[in-house]
Amino acid sequence: MSELHFDVVGAEGPKRYFEALSPGRLAHAYLFTGPPGVGKKTFARRLAQSLLCLAPKSSVVGYDGTCSSCALFRGESAHHPDFLEHEGVLRIGDRDGAMGFYESEGLSARDLVRQLSLQSYSGGLRVLLLGDVSFATHEAANALLKFLEEPPRGVIMMLTTAAPARLLATIRSRAIEVHFPLLSNADVRAVLERMQFSNDEAQLGASLGGGSVTRSLAALEGEEESLRAQVVRWFFESVEGKSPQENWATRETLDDGLETVKTLVRDWVVANVSPRAEPKGIALISLDQAERLRKLKPIEARDAVTLLTKLDEAQRLARTNVNPGMVGDYVRMALTSTP
């Protein structure tokens, strides 16, 4: 048996989950959730390659990298005829309600259903990846839902999203949800180094990215006033009782912003356990904020638990139709009133 690979940084939980799965026990649909830039799509592509690789294996994870199927996965974009990938908004196709024609905009929900109903090219599985999926119209979401209700044999669908709450509950309930947590700084560094950043740049990017490659890249490319920068400033002003003027929370930024606040609260606790050295094995995620975090008033474990509970509540509220500004205010009050 040839040696198998699965070249993915981080994602230990999802890796273990799929390693324990025998090919016969695969579900029709998986929903990969988690913050942006933690490798959900990369994982999905490697899993697709594993599923289509011709090498014999006992679990669904791993590919030999040498068979004729793997050859079609080389480089940035895959060209395997049984692997279909689409990113972003999915439209119904033909005509999207009153919004006009979208025939020219690549894959549509109708194309998708047509394509997936065809026989597999190689006689094995057909794998579909919908990255950062969202739907232009209710009709487009319904087309996918219909498909999920009666999936053709041999089709495996993987959807990725940072905002699962915005998908139809009926779509979520038909997919197995696998969560991807933030990466460690070392993992972000490893990814950046593979992307040909120098050691120094990779280290800087990792320290600014808060566990997300996307955010690290934005920071390295000097994007003015990233969401993270806004949230960091707002966090410190709130904790220091300075009542910030601006509110970063919008429908688009809420999930990502709350994730940043959570990381900062965690780091606030870690930074205050011992002012000089972090306890062994527990490292700050927001390394660029280390000095400022250490200067904050110490937070008691009990108060940290209360605060994190309120953040969970805010994340739950973010999945409802509550006004995003109100969720932001709720978190600000929780931060301000922490003794």
- Rank residues 67 and 308 by Cβ distance to Zn ion and give the closer one: 67
Take residue 243 and report the two structure tokens written for it.
């009542």
Task: Write down the least CB distance from residue 140 to Zn ion, Å.
Answer: 34
Is residue 47 within 8 A of residue 60, CB to CB? The reply is yes
- Rank residues 51 and 317 by Cβ distance to Zn ion and give the closer one: 51
- Cα separation, 187 vs 206, whole angstroms: 8
Task: Write down the least CB distance from residue 4 to Zn ion, Å.
Answer: 9
Task: Write down the least CB distance from residue 39 to Zn ion, Å.
Answer: 21
- Rank residues 63 and 248 by Cβ distance to Zn ion and give the closer one: 63
Angle of helix 213-220 relative to helix 199-209, nearest 10 degrees, comes to: 120
Task: Write down the least CB distance from residue 109 to Zn ion, Å.
Answer: 30
- Rank residues 5 and 28 by Cβ distance to Zn ion and give the closer one: 5
Task: Write down the least CB distance from residue 54 to Zn ion, Å.
Answer: 5
3-state SS string for the chain: CCCCECCCCCCHHHHHHHHCCCHHHCCCEEEEECCCCCCHHHHHHHHHHHHHCCCCCCCCCCECCCCHHHHCCCCCCCCCCCEEEEEEEECCCCCCHHHCCCCCCCCCHHHHHHHHHCCCCCCCCEEEEEEEEEECCHHHHHHHHHHHHCCCCCEEEEEEECCHHHCCHHHHCCCEEEECCCCCHHHHHHHHHHCCCCHHHHHHHHHHHCCCHHHHHHHHCCCCCCHHHHHHHHHHHHHCCCCCCCCCCCCCCHHHHHHHHHHHHHHHHHHHHCCCCCCCCCCCCCHHHHHHHHHCCCCCHHHHHHHHHHHHHHHHHHCCCCCHHHHHHHHHHHHHCCC
Take residue 168 and report the two structure tokens written for it.
């139809």
- Rank residues 64 and 96 by Cβ distance to Zn ion and give the closer one: 64
Task: Write down the least CB distance from residue 126 to Zn ion, Å.
Answer: 16
- Rank residues 67 and 113 by Cβ distance to Zn ion and give the closer one: 67
Under the binding rule (CB under 5 A), the answer on residue 82 touching Zn ion is: no
Q: Give the interface size with Zn ion as a residue count (CB under 5 A).
A: 5
Task: Write down the least CB distance from residue 69 to Zn ion, Å.
Answer: 5
- Rank residues 66 and 253 by Cβ distance to Zn ion and give the closer one: 66
- Rank residues 63 and 180 by Cβ distance to Zn ion and give the closer one: 63
Site track 35-74 with Zn ion (rule: CB under 5 A), x = hit: ------------------x---------xx--x--x----
- Rank residues 101 and 121 by Cβ distance to Zn ion and give the closer one: 121
Task: Write down the least CB distance from residue 50 to Zn ion, Å.
Answer: 8
The residue with tokens 């966090």 is 235
Task: Write down the least CB distance from residue 66 to Zn ion, Å.
Answer: 6
- Cα separation, 210 vs 192, whole angstroms: 14
The residue ranges that bind Zn ion (CB under 5 A) are 53, 63-64, 67, 70
